[in-house]
């Protein structure tokens, strides 16, 4: 008999703060509202995403920097931890079954693995035909990859993590997009267990409450190995 996945409520999550001093970060960068970002985090470094104003969804993908065919796998991550949501202690697993990063601190409580990235097509289907032209996370991903020149294309975009996004699953198994559970200054921090390329879309979505219909900036920070 297949074991049921755990679907913890935010109030049941263990919130863990990081001891790292922001003043000692080797990278401290603000991603503007609705914009993409791509960068590399080396093995042993710590990577933090800060929700500066609250309720901003941060669509994120990870690739092995030495072999981009290996990338974050939602299915393997969910299966390995036996629960849908990510929080402190979660290991982010690749499609090759390796640990890419481990969440070491989290002041939000849980992060979505199922909602995916908004696109021109999903904006049209979920909202209205006239929404097709609106900027989307999939467009952001492709823009960042094109600018980076690392040779990845739309074929290389698996299902992503939505940090800070609230996507409850109903008892019937349906997904619902709800008001965010994050707040200004909350963050998630990860230790890289291999050299990784980080691909982010700071979600530009204006049609659902994932970011209170108001995209806002987020901060990314990196510290050297402990």
Q: Quickly list DSSP for 193-205.
A: SS-EEEEEEE---
Least confident residue range of 4-18, 94-108, 118-132:
118-132
Using an 8 Å Cβ cutoff, are 197 and 150 in contact?
Answer: yes
Alpha helices per DSSP H over the chain: 74-81, 120-126, 137-148
The contacts of residue 51 (CB under 8 Å, 6+ apart) are: 58, 108, 163, 164, 182, 183, 184, 185, 186, 187, 218
Question: Among residues 76, 116, 66, which one has the least CA distance to residue 96?
Answer: 76
Give the chain's mean pLDDT. 86
Question: Among residues 89, 35, 10, 84, which one has the least CA distance to residue 220?
Answer: 35
Q: Any idea how long the chain is?
A: 226
Of the pLDDT bands very low, low, confident and very high (cuts 50, 70, 90), residue 226 is confident
Residue 200 has pLDDT above 90, yes or no: yes
Measured in whole angstroms, the distance separating CA 83 from the mean position of its chain's CA atoms is 16
Query: Residue 111 is encoded by which pair of tokens?
Result: 């992060």
For residue range 41-71, list pLDDT tens digits in order.
999 999 999 999 998 999 999 999 999 999 9
Helix (H, G, I), strand (E, B) or coil at 58: strand
Q: What per-residue confidence (pLDDT) applies to 101? A: 98
- DSSP secondary-structure letter at 26? S
Bridge partner residues of 41 (DSSP): 196
Residue 210 has pLDDT above 80, yes or no: no
- Using alpha carbons only, give the angle 209, 186, 177 rounded to the nearest 5 degrees: 20
């Amino acid at each position: 008999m297949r074991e049921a996945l755990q679907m913890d409520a935010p109030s049941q999550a263990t919130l863990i703060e990081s001891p790292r001093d922001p003043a000692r970060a080797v990278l401290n960068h603000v991603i503007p509202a609705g914009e993409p970002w791509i960068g590399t985090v080396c093995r042993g470094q710590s990577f933090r995403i800060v929700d500066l104003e609250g309720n901003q969804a941060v669509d994120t993908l990870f690739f092995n920097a030495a072999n981009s065919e290996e990338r974050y796998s939602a299915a393997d991550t969910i299966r390995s931890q036996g629960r849908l949501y990510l929080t402190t202690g979660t290991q982010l697993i690749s499609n090759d079954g390796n640990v890419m990063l481990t969440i070491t601190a989290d002041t939000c409580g849980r992060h979505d693995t199922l909602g995916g990235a908004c696109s021109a097509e999903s904006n049209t289907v979920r909202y209205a035909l006239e929404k097709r032209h609106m900027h989307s996370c999939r467009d952001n991903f492709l823009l960042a990859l094109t600018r980076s020149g690392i040779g990845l294309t739309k074929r290389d975009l698996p299902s992503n993590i939505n940090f800070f996004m609230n996507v409850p699953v109903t008892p019937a198994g349906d997904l619902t997009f709800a008001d965010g559970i994050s707040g200004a200054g909350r963050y998630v921090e990860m230790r890289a267990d291999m050299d990784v390329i980080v691909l982010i879309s700071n979600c530009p979505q204006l049609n659902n409450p994932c970011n209170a219909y108001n995209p806002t900036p987020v901060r990314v920070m990196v510290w050297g190995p402990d």
